[in-house]
Amino acid sequence: LVLRLLAAHRTQVELRSLELAAAKIVVAAAVVREGKLLVQQRSYPMSLAGKWELPGGRVEPGETEVEALVRECHEEMGVVVRPLGRLGPDIPLPGVGLLRTHTAWLDAADVQPRAVEHRAVRWVAAAHLAGLDWVAADRVLVPALVALTEQV
Ligand code: C5P
């Protein structure tokens, strides 16, 4: 019996480390300009369409988080952001991995972000952030996003 319990425990430990190895990082950008935060409205999948999130996406193999953040913002909004540093906690994305947020700079002289893959892109003041219909993971970030938006 002891041996069987030990074997079961080992299997669990092995499964857990496989899970951890498979955990993917999704990076998100918190871009603030003139007291407003840049947010996007999802157009897919159906269950998330209409909800708001930070720009971002999966870090691809061989890519750093910073590279992924710059690439995703360019693909999604046609702009080149400059990542500055981490913001807030890592948030578990069930079945996907972890959502990790970086603040990022977007020069005022740059082209305006536009919705390439999303339904809409909007600049939102701190006072209106809590009232958005956020996707679940990003909602956890709202206190950190409000603090950031108030301070920039
Ligand atoms: O946008 P994409 O589908 O590539 O995102 C990968 C995963 O990360 C999805 O599960 C999406 O819901 C999640 N995500 C998120 N918050 C973001 C960006 C992506 O929860 N700001």
pLDDT confidence of residue 55? 98
User: In the chain, which stretches have pLDDT less than 50?
Assistant: none
**Residue 57 CA, ligand 1 centroid: distance in Å:** 6
pLDDT confidence of residue 93? 97
**Structure tokens, 100:** 């990790």
Ligand 1 proximal residues by C-beta, below 6 Å: 26, 28, 53-54, 56-58, 93, 96, 99, 135, 137-138
Best of 93, 116, 139 for a ligand 1 pocket test (most atoms within 8 Å of beta carbon): 93
The DSSP-derived string for 45-88 is STTTTT-EE-SEEEPPTT--HHHHHHHHHHHHHS---EEEEEEE
Nearest Cα neighbor of 43 from 34, 30, 52, 55 is 52
Which residues face 86 on adjacent strands? 102
pLDDT confidence of residue 16? 62
SS3 37: strand
**Residue 26 CA, ligand 1 centroid: distance in Å:** 7
**Residue 74 CA, ligand 1 centroid: distance in Å:** 16
pLDDT confidence of residue 20? 56
pLDDT confidence of residue 139? 98
C-alpha–C-alpha distance, residues 20 and 61, integer Å: 16
pLDDT confidence of residue 77? 97
pLDDT confidence of residue 5? 77
pLDDT confidence of residue 136? 98
**Residue 2 CA, ligand 1 centroid: distance in Å:** 43
pLDDT, tens digit (0-9, with 9 covering 90-100), for 36-78: 999 999 999 999 999 999 999 999 999 999 999 999 999 999 9
pLDDT confidence of residue 152? 80
Rounded to the nearest angstrom, the gap between the alpha carbon of residue 77 and the centroid of all alpha carbons in its chain is 15
C-alpha–C-alpha distance, residues 78 and 67, integer Å: 15
**Structure tokens, 35:** 């007291």
